[in-house]
Amino acid sequence: MSERERKAIGATVTIPTWLMFLLAAACGIIAANLYYAQPLIGIIRSSIGLSASSAGYIVTLTQIGYVVGLLFIVPMGDIVENRKLVVVSLLLTSAALAVTAVSKQSVPFLAASFVIGLGSVAAQVLVPFASYLADEASRGRVVGNVMSGLLLGIMLARPLSSLLADLFGWHTVFAVSAVAILLLAVVLSKALPARKPTSTTRYTELLSSLWHLLRTTPILRRRAAYHACVFATFSLFWTVVPLRLSSSVFHFSQKEIALFALVGVAGAIAAPIGGRLADRGWTKPATGIALVTVIISMVLPLVFQVGSTWGIIILVISAIVLDAGVSANLVLAQRTLFSLNPAIRSRLNGLFMAMFFMGGAVGSAVGGWAYANVSWSVVLIIGMAFPIVAFLYYLTELKGK
């Protein structure tokens, strides 16, 4: 980062601890909006009149909106004052959440879901923002800590939404989030330092440069491919598991599904660990471990398919292992990308996130369809296939060493 950029955002050698925690919390609160609907698919589907085979679209449209925002909003972080960009995005998200909270039909709900995804990319403006405040030696640690907040938000979103829905109905989940995001926008508008990028690139030139960056940055393509595969498995698993738990196999209530979803929080500990490993130069071996971990998370419930307490234990272990592998791989990728040219960091992050979220959208859509039309075993086989493809690609990186 240039000295001019550091002065523009009031940075010293590294990010203040209070600001790092604020950014982590903000990212978690924002990112949670992408996952509130996952454990509620069954009750939302019935309430707004969607068929069982279309249930996956409840999550997929939010992810598609997120991808669009990553491609068209996040790159603006390289040319637009970052604080203003974040606050405007959050106001848009809060409005969409309010619409979702009062929706009783599928069309307004799904349209608002798309906009929720679109505005929630504010989190991915904040992550590069944190990296600008950190020096090279501590960047992995800082990004890992901020991403821990984001991942905790993702993982806590599922149990929180399940509990609120069980007590007050699913509409309350989105109403509470609408208020929380509005308050967060006010807090960040006061607390965040200004960061006005020095680039004079026009928005049209910015967008046209995305294809050039994709073509000329092989590490971006490779890292995005790895994470698109593991995130497809992540989305597939967490879209289908609530349906599996509420089925005749386990007969889980919404509250019990919430407790199950809570176990995934343990996987977030892998994020700061991944960041520290990257700071020590162990990115390649750590990546291989993360990919294998995700594969194992799908093998366990496929091999041990039982409907008893042991079946639940296996699913709990699988959820923790899956979330740990995905968390570590994400931080390893972002630490690598944020070590490249600071002037293009927002664009790199936007491209990376957009590419792997497309994988997530595919995973949730395919998972919902496979579970409704084929079987749980097929869902797990598909979930296992994605990280296997990533691991085979990873082996080519080792050979090229």
Taking the C-alpha atoms of residue 338 and residue 290, their distance in angstroms, rounded to an integer, is 19
Q: SS3 of 339, please? A: coil
Q: At what angle do helices 270-279 and 283-303 cross, to 10 degrees?
A: 150
Burial of 273 (0-12, 13-18, 19+ CB in 10 A): middle
CB distance 210 to 133 below 8 Å: no
Distance of alpha carbon 153 from alpha carbon 183, whole angstroms: 16
Query: Which of 317, 349, 326, 322 shows the shortest CA–CA distance to 128?
Result: 349
37-96 confidence digits (pLDDT tens): 877 887 888 888 777 667 767 878 888 898 889 888 888 888 888 889 999 999 999 999
Residue 37 Ramachandran class (φ > 0 left, ψ -120 to 50 alpha, else beta): alpha
Contacting residues for 308 by C-beta, under 8 A, at least 6 apart: none
**Between helices 139-168 and 17-31, what is the axis angle to 10°?**
40
How far apart, in whole angstroms, are the C-alpha atoms of residue 347 and residue 204?
13
Question: Tell me, what's the pLDDT at 9?
Answer: 44
pTM for the structure as a whole? 0.76
Cα separation, 17 vs 24, in Å, equals 11
Give Cβ neighbours of residue 318 (< 8 Å, ≥ 6 apart): 237, 297, 298, 300, 301
CATH number for position 54 = 1.20.1250.20
Task: Tell me how many domains the chain contains.
Answer: 1
Range of the domain at 283: 3-399
Angstrom distances, CA of residue 31 to CA of 24, 123, 147, 277, 319? 11, 7, 10, 24, 19
Is residue 23 within 8 A of residue 11, CB to CB? The reply is no
Tens digits of pLDDT across the chain (401 residues):
444 444 444 444 467 778 888 998 999 999 999 889 877 887 888 888 777 667 767 878 888 898 889 888 888 888 888 889 999 999 999 999 999 999 888 888 999 999 999 999 999 888 877 777 766 666 666 777 787 788 788 778 878 888 898 889 999 999 999 999 999 999 999 988 877 776 677 888 888 888 888 888 899 999 999 999 999 999 899 888 888 888 777 778 777 877 787 776 776 666 666 667 767 777 788 889 999 999 999 999 888 876 677 888 888 889 888 988 988 888 888 888 877 777 777 788 788 888 887 888 789 888 888 888 888 889 999 999 999 999 999 998 877 65
Written as one letter, the residue type at 264 is G
In degrees, rounded to 5, the angle at the alpha carbon of residue 28 between the alpha carbons of residues 22 and 31 is 135
Entry field: residues in the chain: 401
CA angle in degrees (0–180, nearest 5) for 213-218-224: 85
- Do 326 and 294 meet the contact criterion of CB atoms below 8 Å apart? yes
By the 8 A CB rule, do 64 and 114 touch?
yes
Tokens (6 digits) for 383 = 């979930």
- Could you count the other beta carbons within 10 Å of the beta carbon of residue 259? 14
Check: CB of residue 152 under 8 Å from CB of residue 265. Answer: yes
3-state SS class at 14 = coil
